[in-house]
Each structure stands twice: as C-alpha cells, then as structure tokens.
Amino acid sequence: MSKTLIRGAKVLGGEPQDVLIDGETITQVGTGLSAEGAEVVEAGGKVLLPGLVDLHTHLREPGREDSETVLTGTRAAASGGYTNVFAMANTFPVADTAGVVEQVWRLGKEHGYCDVQPIGAVTVGLEGRKLAELGAMHESAAGVTVFSDDGKCVHDAVIMRRALEYVKAFDGVVAQHAQEPRLTEGAQMNEGVVSAELGLGGWPAVAEESVIARDVLLADHVGSRVHICHLSTAGSVEIVRWAKSRGIRVTAEVTPHHLLLTDELVRSYNPVYKVNPPLRTERDVLALREALADGTIDIVATDHAPHPHEDKDCEWAAAAMGMVGLETALSVVQETMVDTGLLDWAGVAERMSFTPARIGRAEGHGRPVSAGEPANLTLVDTAYRGPVDPAGFASRSRNTPYEGRELPGRVTHTWLRGKATLVDGKLT
C-alpha cells in the first residue's frame, strides 16, 4: 500500500506537524516524521482538517442529470474538501424506496471521489401524506439514517409526529425543511423592506419559525431527535436556543450563503440570488454567525443546489431556487467565521466534519486527525485570497452567487481513505 507524508501542516489550525498516511489509515502524527517510502506533500503551513461532511447536498441523479450527476457532484465535493456528502431525496424518481437510495449510494462508491450517503424521503413522493418505507431504506445497503422531504416541508403535524417517533427504532433523524406552506404561497424572497419595494411576494420569517417551534415541541413530546435544515432567521435561532436550553434533542444547520448574503442583493433581480429559504437581512446574518459560533447552530451544510443555466437566465419569478455551494463553502466559512474571529479552525472542523458526521451517523467520517483513524483529510491554503471563477467548477452547474467575489482560502488536497482525490487543486 502507498504511503503519504503530509509535512508541516497545521492540524486543525494548531502548530505545524507531520501526518503519515499508510494505506487507508493515519498511522502517525508528530514532528520530524521519516519520509522513507512515502510520497511527500509539503503543506508549508496550510491547515489540515478532517475531510468535510455535508449533511445537505442535491446531486440531482437520478432525473436531472443535466444539472448534476453523482459523478460531477462528488467531484465538486472533493474539490471543496468534502469526503462525505448526504444526498437529498428530491430526485426523479424520489428517493423514497430502498431501490433508489441503493442506486445513489452505489454510484458514489463506484466513482470514488466522495462517499455518498443518501437521505430518504419522509413521505411517499415528498407529498406529505403517507410515510415512505423508512425502515426498508435504513435496512438497505445504503443504510439510510437521515430522512427529509427537503424542498418541501412535512407540514402535517401528525405525519411529522409519526415520522419522528418511527425513526427512533433505528436511531434515525428527520431533517425538517421548515416552511409553512400557506404562509409562503407565491413567496419569492424574504418579506420585508426590500420585498415591499421590489414587489416580489414576501416569504415571512414566521413561516420558518412557526414550523421549527412546532417541531421542537413535537420532538420533546415524543422524545425524538429532530434536525432543522438551513435555518435562516434570527427568530429561528432564538427558538433553537430555547429548545436546547430545555434539553430538547434538536440540531440545526446553516448554509454558507445565509452567513454571508442578504436580501439587498435581490435588488438586482438576478435569480442567482433566488434560494429557498430566501436570503434574509443583515440582522439575521449576524444572528446566524453568532449562533454558529456559540453552538446553537451545530453545523454548516451547503444545500448545494445545482441548476442548469437556462433555469437562472430568466426573469426572477420563472427562475429555479438554489445555489451551488460545495466548492465555495469552506471559503465562505473562513470569510464569515474565521477571519472575523468568531471561530478557530478546530471550531470549523467541529461544525463541518465532526458534528455533521455524528448527526448523520456517518461511520468513518468526522474522526479526529490522529493515528489509527481513517485517512479522510483536507488541506487548506488559508492564506490564499482570490475571485471565484465558476468556469473552474467541477460541478456541472454554475449557479453560484459568488462569481467574481474575492474570498479567502483554497482547498489544495483532499484524501478519501488515504486516496488523494484532489492534488494541488486538481481532481485526480
């Protein structure tokens, strides 16, 4: 088996150390390690993190291979420093049966860029009426533990309650897309000063917050854990904070774009800023950063949502919602959390690797960088700063809101169980 020596890397942002990989495993971490028989990667002060884990990705396969496939999506993941992604269920057909989830899981294995852990639909066809065969998906080769109707909210309180209860049998978790459907009919952007001016249908914060409030109370009542997808408002933060203080088993994620962008950008009517949940206000952005720093929000998840060019090159109302995120997530987190002093790199590892792996029960991922652990690693040049160029994306889609924007940090190497998937910024 091949050996790799990563020399002089700041492990989790600490003092420079050498890390020796032998086969699929980290065998030694220390200083002055022997390079004998090993390929040497000079880290030169770059930061070494555990391979990132994304609890919220849309890979689009099967059904919308024109926007992304498991292959292109996992290559994008490797480019962004990820070694494990959770693929959302809103494909065509919907990932609501063991057959579909196994197919997606197997494609990820075959391509070998990044482990793919399928998320199963909570309800058949994401229609919110009838529970999908959650147990069968869990027992399949894919071993599904996270269930979500993402893109749609499990709005029926009884269905939500049953799902929360049912997955307890196999330690699963329901990831809720919190969006009260009646309050968001025709909604196009955050409801507030900007929507009033632009004449775009308002998406009130309360549509998210009311569902989160209900779900944490339901989780408390039935003693289940619940995960909140892409939390986007200051009010949601307050509810989750309160729930955690009560000991309710709730976890929450925030997307990179909700940490950086505000609804002011919608003034351009450029649909690249159209996303669900919508970009909120400056006040929300600051509350989300603070909550991610203090642990109220547990993790960063990308909500990587690829769309073909034509679905964004149109008028706002006709455009699809979503942004790609895998290849820019770490840069945005560095910009908003690390460079602002809110979080150190150990904190980033916690929120982008350890904790998401724990929530999703992903075995072999989100492990410490220490001897005996699987060699899932990513090396980041944190001193880099430059403009985002979508032309260089590995994703099949280019719908990034950051085109041309200067961001810090660049992932140069990624290893998946000892195998390099990204070397010097190039996919292998």
Partner 1 sequence: MQRHLISAADLTRDDAVLILDTAEEMARVADRPIKKLPTLRGRTVVNLFFEDSTRTRISFEAAEKRLSADVINFSAKGSSVSKGESLKDTAQTLEAMGVDAVVIRHGASGAPYRLATSGWIDAHVINAGDGTHQHPTQALLDAFTMRRRLVGRDAGLGQDLDGRRITLVGDVLHSRVARSNVDLLHTLGAEVTLVAPPTLLPVGVETWPCEVSYDLDSTLPKSDAVMMLRVQRERMNAAFFPTEREYSRRYGLDGDRMARMPEHAIVMHPGPMVRGMEITAEVADSDRCTVVEQVANGVSIRMAVLYLLLGGAEFQTPSTPAAPARTAEENR
Residue ranges that bind partner 1, judged by CB under 8 A: 188, 191-200, 202, 204, 268-270, 310, 313-318
Active site residue 263: no
Give least dist CB 307 to partner 1, A: 14
Residue number, 169 or 196, with CB nearest to partner 1 = 196
Residue number, 24 or 180, with CB nearest to partner 1 = 180
Joined tokens for residue 334? 């560095």
Give least dist CB 325 to partner 1, A: 23
Residue number, 33 or 198, with CB nearest to partner 1 = 198
- Of the residues 18, 115, 298, 303, only one is catalytic, namely 303
Residue number, 141 or 318, with CB nearest to partner 1 = 318
Give least dist CB 109 to partner 1, A: 38
Give least dist CB 84 to partner 1, A: 37
Give least dist CB 183 to partner 1, A: 12
Residue number, 36 or 315, with CB nearest to partner 1 = 315
**Which positions are annotated as active-site residues?**
303
